[in-house]
Structure 1
Amino acid sequence: MTLLNAPPTFNWTPATLTDLPTVGEPIRSLDRDVEGGPGARLRAAREAGLRFRSEFATSGVPASVVTCDLVTLPYPTRFGLFRATKALAPFLSITNRMLVIRWNDSDGRPRVLLFEPSDVELGRKTPYFAELLRRTPKPVAEMVTTIHGTVLGHLTRLGIRPEEVDYILFDHLHTQDLRRWIGTTAFQDDLGKHTEAIFPNAKVIVQRDELLGMANLHPLQTPWYQPAAYRDVPLEAFLPIDGSVLLGPGVAIIKTPGHVFGNQSLVLNTSTGIWVSSENVIAAECLTPEHSRLPGLASWSRSWQQEVILNANTIETTADQYNSIILEKTIADRAQADPRFLQFFPSSELTPLWTNPGTSPTFRHFAITHSA
C-alpha cells in the first residue's frame, strides 16, 4: 500500500464533466452557502434539515425498498468509532448492504435504483484492504469475513433483470470498482477480458466534486480509492450532480461532505417515516450516543460535548462531516422499535462478533423494508 500521492490516472476535468447530463430536481432548501466558519455552517445545517424534512414528507413514497446483505468484514475500531471507543478489540465488524429502491416517474415509467451495489470481489483490491488481507492468515480472514450474497444473486431473487436497473448510487466511491457494472473501453489485464456492462442501461449518480477529486488523489485519500479501476470506464456512464436532488417520489440524494469531499446520502420517505442512509457513522447509536452501551461512547460524548460519533477512516474535512451528520440527524425520523434511536441506516452497519469484545451495538436496524 503506497501512501504517496499518485499521479492522475484518467483525464477527468471540469470541462469534460460539464458536458455530461445530470439528473434529478435540485433541492433548494438544502443550499447551505453561508458566511463564517464551521459553527455557522453547523447552524445552517440544522435549519436546512428542518426545512427539508417538512417538504420531503409530502413528496410521496417509492413503490418498494428491499435490503440485501452483501458481506460482513473487519474494520478498524479506531476508525469506525473515532476517538470515543474504549473497546480493547483493534477491529470491529461491519455489514455492507445494498438497497433496491423502485418507483414510478410522473409519466408512469418504472425506475430501479441500486444503492451500494458493491462488487465485493473487486473491492478487496482497495489498497488498505489488500494490505490487511496480505498480513492476515487465510484461516483468520475466513473466520472474520462472511459473504451473504451477491448483487446479481439478490436481483435474480427479486425478479429484476440487469437491463432494468436505471441508477447506481454510492454514498462515496471508497473501495468501489465499477468495471463489471458499467463496462470498460479497453481490455483489462487483471480481469483477462474487455468487460461488457452487466447493467447496460444504468447510470452512476455521483457528486461532481468526487469525480474531480479522484482524478488527482490526496495522500489522505489514496488508501481507500482504486483510481486505476476508472481509467477505462466510459465517462458517459456517470451522471454528475452538484448538491442535493429529488430523484423520485420519496427518493432524494443530499450532499453530505466531510467523510469525502463529494459525500452524499440517500433519503427515503417510507411507511415508517423518513430514513437516511450513508456511511458517515457505522451505527444508529452514533447519532444519539447518550443512549449507547458501547464502552466509552456516552461518556466521551458528554465530556467533549459532541453529539455524534464519526466514522473517521478519512478525515478530509472533519468539521464538515460532523455538520453533515447533524443534517442527517435532523432529517431522520425516530425508530419505531426504539425511539431513542433514529431511522438512520448505516450503509455499513456495526455487527457483533465474538472476536471483537466491546463492539456489540446497543441497537441495530438490520434492514429497511417498505412497500407502498
Structure 2
Amino acid sequence: MTDTPTTHPTTTDVRSLGARTIPEFDGVHDIWPRGDRLEAVRSAAVAYKKRFTAQGQVTAVKSVDIASAPYPVKYGFNTAVIGPHSPLIPIINRMVVVQYDDWDGRPRTLVFEPTVPEGSAKAPFFDKLQRLMNKIPYANRAEQVIVNYYNEPDEALAQVGLGPEDVDFCAFDHLHVQDPRMILGSSTNIPGEQAPRGPIFGKAKMLVNTRELATLQNLHPMQWAWYVEGSLEGVDLDKFATFEGDIELGPGVALLWTPGHTDGNHSLVVNTPDGVWVSSENGIALDNWQPEQSRIPGVKLYHQQYGREICPNGNTLEDSLDQYDSMIKEKTLADPSTEDPRWLQILPSSELAPWKRFWPVVPTHHHGGIDYGTIRAGRR
C-alpha cells in the first residue's frame, strides 16, 4: 500500500469553480430501505433531467482514443457470460474534451479520462496480469492482439487543436489504475525515472470526489489491487479541486455522483444537439445498461432470471446495490441514440471493442466515440 501520509481532503467551494450543486439529488443516496432508495434516485433523475436539458448545451465535445487493454470477461459482465469465449476481451480507453461556459459565464475546457497507459500498467491488478500473460504462450499472443497505444493524453489534446494552457480542469470517473503524478506533476521522482514529472495540462486542477481522493490516501485491502501505489507522492494536493455529491459545471455539463463501483465514482453528463450523453465505467458496453437487448450469450438471460434492469461491470463491487442505483440514474438521464433509438446515448469511458475475433463477446451496439461542435483554442 502507499506510504503517503493520510491527509483527508477538504471540500472545495464549487462556486469557486464556476459550478453549483444539484439539489434534486440531495439525500437520495441515504434513503432506507434500499428499494425506496432506488425509486428515489430514479425520480430525482427524472426531475433533474428536465431542468438540465432546459439550461442549455455544451459548446463542443470530442473524444480521442488513448489505448486498448485486456480485461477479464468475468468482470465486464459480472460473470453473466456463458458458453465458449476468450477469458480476456479488449476495452478501449478514450479521452473526452468538453468545452462549455461555466455559471459565471467564463469559457472552460474540461479533459475527462486523460489516462496515461504507462501509469495504469503499474496498478497491482494489471501488473500481475502482465506477469501471468508473459508466462502463458496463448495469453501472450492475445496480448499482442489486444494491446494497442493510440495517443498519449498530450497527443490527444494536440489532435483537437489545444495546448496545455487551454485546459481548466481534468477529471476521471474514479481513480482506478490512474497515477496522478503523471498528470498533475510531482516534486519527487517516480521510481526508475531520472527527474520529476511536470504537469501535462499546465495549471489545470483535477476535479475529484472527496471520497475518491480519501480512498487513494488510505486504501482498504479489498481496494488495493486497482489503485497505483505511491501515486500521490510529491503531488501538490492543492492541484485537486475536491467536492461532494453532484455538481453541474455549467449549462449542459455535470458530474453526477454515481457510487458503487467506488465510493467516489462520478459520471460525466453532457447535453448536445442530439440530446443527453452519459459517460462512466459502470459498464463497458451498452449491453450492461440494456441487457434485455444484448446478444452476448448469458447477458439477456441474466436480466431475465434475476429481473435486473442492468448488468454491472463487476471488477470491484464496493457496493453492488449502490452501483445498480447509479446505473439507473445514468439510464434515466441518457437520451435515445439518433442513429438507433433502441439504444441509449451512454458512452463507456472504457468501451468494449467491436472486434470480431473476440466473438461472441462483442458489443451488440457500439457508439465508438462522441463529436459535437468545434473545439477551439484560446477561449480563456
Q: TM-score range by the shorter chain?
A: over 0.9
Equivalenced residue count is 364
Quickly say closer, same or farther: Cα 1:122–1:330, change in 2 above 3 A: same
CA distance in 2, matches of 1:190, 1:40: 51
CA distance in 1, matches of 2:51, 2:362: 36
How far did residue 43 of structure 1 move? 0.9
Task: Select 2:6's aligned residue among 5, 11, 15.
Answer: 11
RMSD: 1.7
Measured against aligned partners, the alpha-carbon deviations of 1:233-285 in whole angstroms (never above 9, x if no partner) come to 11000011100001012010000000001100000000100111100011112
Opposite residue 282 of structure 2, the aligned amino acid is N
Opposite residue 132 of structure 1, the aligned amino acid is L
1:342 maps to 344
Structure 2: 5+ residue stretches without partners:
135-139, 375-380
Quickly say closer, same or farther: Cα 1:10–1:200, change in 2 above 3 A: farther
Within a 5 Å distance, the mapping from 1:355-366 to structure 2 comes to 355-366=357-368
1:99 maps to 96
Bigger shift: residues 32-41 or 97-106: 32-41
How far did residue 195 of structure 1 move? 2.0
CA distance in 2, matches of 1:198, 1:161: 9
Q: Indicate the SS of the match to 1:228.
A: coil
Q: Does the aligned pair in 1 maintain the 2:6–2:218 contact within 8 Å? A: no
Q: Indicate the SS of the match to 2:66.
A: strand
1:67 maps to 63
- 1:135 and 2:132 equivalent? yes
Within a 5 Å distance, the mapping from 1:173-184 to structure 2 comes to 173-184=175-186
Opposite residue 174 of structure 2, the aligned amino acid is H
Task: Select 2:42's aligned residue among 19, 41, 46.
Answer: 46
Opposite residue 168 of structure 2, the aligned amino acid is D
- 1:116 and 2:118 equivalent? no
Opposite residue 112 of structure 1, the aligned amino acid is T
Bigger shift: residues 198-207 or 72-81: 198-207
Quickly say closer, same or farther: Cα 1:106–1:315, change in 2 above 3 A: closer
Q: Does the aligned pair in 1 maintain the 2:69–2:146 contact within 8 Å? A: yes
1:317 maps to 319
How far did residue 199 of structure 1 move? 1.7
How far did residue 84 of structure 1 move? 1.6
- 1:36 and 2:28 equivalent? no
Structure 1: 5+ residue stretches without partners:
1-5
Opposite residue 214 of structure 1, the aligned amino acid is L
CA distance in 2, matches of 1:178, 1:38: 35
Percent identity reads: 37
How far did residue 70 of structure 1 move? 0.8
How far did residue 185 of structure 1 move? 2.3
CA distance in 1, matches of 2:346, 2:248: 19
CA distance in 2, matches of 1:213, 1:361: 32
* TM-score, normalised by the number of residues in structure 2: 0.91
- 1:125 and 2:127 equivalent? no
Measured against aligned partners, the alpha-carbon deviations of 1:166-196 in whole angstroms (never above 9, x if no partner) come to 1111000000012132111223333221222
CA distance in 2, matches of 1:18, 1:127: 28
- 1:89 and 2:72 equivalent? no
* TM-score, normalised by the number of residues in structure 1: 0.93
CA distance in 2, matches of 1:290, 1:105: 38
